[in-house]
Amino acid sequence: MTYYNDMLKKGLSYQDFVVEKLYDIGLPIISYASKEYQIKFGENKCGFEIKFDDRLEETGNFYIEIAEKSNSNNFNFIPSGIYRADNTWLYLQGNYKKIYIFAKNQLRKLYESNQYKKIEISTSQGFLLSLKVALEKDFIIKIIEIKEN
């Protein structure tokens, strides 16, 4: 399995987890299953982009994606994450302990400020936003803590 496919599988599993947790607190999300509708409208009817950040606790940084490619051999990256042209207005990123909610337009402004470290790997481009800075500067709209069942 390629790195991209492995990350996609983890991301989709996390997305399902978040949908369940949001439903539990009264925020039902209607997700689109087909690639056609996801490209045309976004991941879901609510305009929430959901991203799994499995290294957040280890690094203390959010990795905010701006572009991707499904295969490292592809020549060009395509806009994704905060630069995907869809209905997204909220960006939910986190892990199985906490979900952090950001405004997509604010994350774009942070990227465009050139104050944060930019990262490129074979299938993704983005930037690092320190959890500490995000908390101190009130970049996070809401934090949902996951209670163990």
pLDDT-based confidence at 53, cuts 50/70/90?
very high
Residue 138: φ, ψ to 5°: 55, 40
Residues β-bridged to residue 119? 126
pLDDT tens figures, 117-140: 999 998 999 999 999 999 999 999
Q: Amino acid identity, residue 87?
A: N
Of all residues in the chain, the percent with pLDDT exceeding 70 is: 98
pLDDT-based confidence at 96, cuts 50/70/90?
very high
R_g (Cα) of the chain, nearest Å: 15
DSSP H helices in 41-91: 56-59
* pLDDT computed for residue 39 by the predictor: 80
* pLDDT computed for residue 1 by the predictor: 52
* pLDDT computed for residue 89 by the predictor: 96
* pLDDT computed for residue 33 by the predictor: 83
Domain coordinates of the chain in residue numbers? 3-145
> Is pLDDT at 28 greater than 80 in this prediction?
yes
What is the average per-residue pLDDT within 11-20? 90
3-145: CATH number: 3.40.1350
* pLDDT computed for residue 9 by the predictor: 86
